[in-house]
Amino acid sequence: MMAMSTTSIGRKGEQWVQAWFEWQGYQTKGRNILTPYGEIDLWVTMGQRHYLIEVKTRRRMEGPPVFQGLTSGKIRRLKLIRSYMVNQGGEIEKSQYFYSFIVLTPSRFYWFPNVFNVQDRFAVCPYTV
């Protein structure tokens, strides 16, 4: 059996996350949205809240999941992407956009609802594929 590529695993993770949000009642607005500053893996909404989601799928977990892969440069880029989306969104307020970070591991789903607010804690959900 041939091993899955990193890209293939990442896309499957994004599909799983999209299905989970839809199961929770969120509406998908887009996937793999290209902006001048980078790609948004998933955009979902519920009510007035818009979540721009970065999904990281890991084959295994090394250490705590806290913002794995989020450097200060990446956070600056995510802020530019959010500003771009706010400018494209017409009357949607900047405060209604949240940039979320999700880490999928072989046994857990970690959701950091708002990477720009360090007070937000992550949700942990066990799952099976």
Query: 120: which 2 tokens?
Result: 């937000």
| pLDDT tens digits for range 44-94 | 999 988 899 988 887 766 655 555 566 778 878 888 888 888 888 777 777
Pick the residue with more confidence: 82 or 31?
31
CA 109 – CA 106 distance, rounded (Å): 9
Query: 107: which 2 tokens?
Result: 């046994």
Whole-number pLDDT of residue 29: 94
CA 113 – CA 115 distance, rounded (Å): 7
**Identity of residue 64:** P
Q: Which domains does the chain have, with CATH numbers?
A: 21-62+72-106 (3.40.1350.10)
Percent of the chain with pLDDT over 90: 27
